[in-house]
Structure 1
């Protein structure tokens, strides 16, 4: 068939159907977990999801890096897709901030007409939260520098900057876990505990995903899959990391500082 366009017609792949069935099983076993506390089926399905994603991404890398099927038009479409994904993530977090402001601006009698509610000892925003803010802002600077170096063909400096960013992301997750372990309240302690742990918890998950995203980009860079003009995965990972940074700034200002 003649090819009179710059777009990639994807070959038939079994992975979307397979991962759909695995995710269906995962949701079913999640319901089973809430009733029977059996974790083995959930863990097995998580491993299967990770395995299928690895195989699927391997095929995508083969198409883009070795077969040259990801033209600039294809990469432009992928960038638009990432923009839409980040927009959906913004709306996702907006629902949690909406819940926080709804309850904090008009506390009910059940909460003692106070915010934070009575007997809730909130975190000091000048301790671990401030440290995490500095860490994420620093990681934003280092990952931006990595992108600048990549566009300048300075691969050695790109490698260093990505390693610094990944290290800062891991350190942030460690401090977040330490903060949770030292908390005097839990997710079931009033609406404050629910909004706090759900919002910061989902952000923490996004930090972990972003860290894995950057690790994968670093691995591909070491395998010489990127160039100064063709490093789409790294660029999208940087976009995602900046999104995580901005969400944390809103989270720190509203929940940690203003909410206290």
Structure 2
């Protein structure tokens, strides 16, 4: 994977995409996802792990709600990762992650993930570069384990939002009553560290790319949802899954 420079990467949909046409295409894509997820669950041969990373207000929660609300809830689990608990900190950094790895037949969505332990920790100088390098190797080994030993399809998405759009969305959490529950004054402190976060992510993309990353322009929710949904759909279709027959 070529080095990615996020400050030179667009946060908006390519010009060829029309908003209304793209939004009109989404229901059919969601219907396909529903059917593919049913086969995935019934066959029980593959597992799917979806990793969502991004700055605060990049739209991870909304994406999960809109893209995955059409699939059977029995076949999907969403795990959100926040600040590690005392128990989690007493183990290796992947301990709290591995126990939520998807079982065969399941789609597991990570809202933030093991990558927080080489992103936030570096931005705030909790770990040095040597420790970060060791952790990135451990992450590569962990993902390789899932792929090659549990038939896991891993899709990693970085939701790329502009500074202007991020600030707009953070301000909405102050003024919009339906979003005030999300408000955290610390989000504005983290947003001010944008350059440091982008640098940490770029290093992450460079060294943790055995499973490729998809950089998702996220200023426009309709395109963000379209890109994630079509990427997942295409990955599932490539598996050529079949419903199992009657068990004898």
TM-score using structure 2 length = 0.27
The structure having more radius of gyration, on CA atoms, is: 1
TM-score using structure 1 length = 0.26
Which gives a bigger RCO, structure 1 or 2 (Cα 8 Å, sep 6+)?
A: 2
Higher strand share: 2
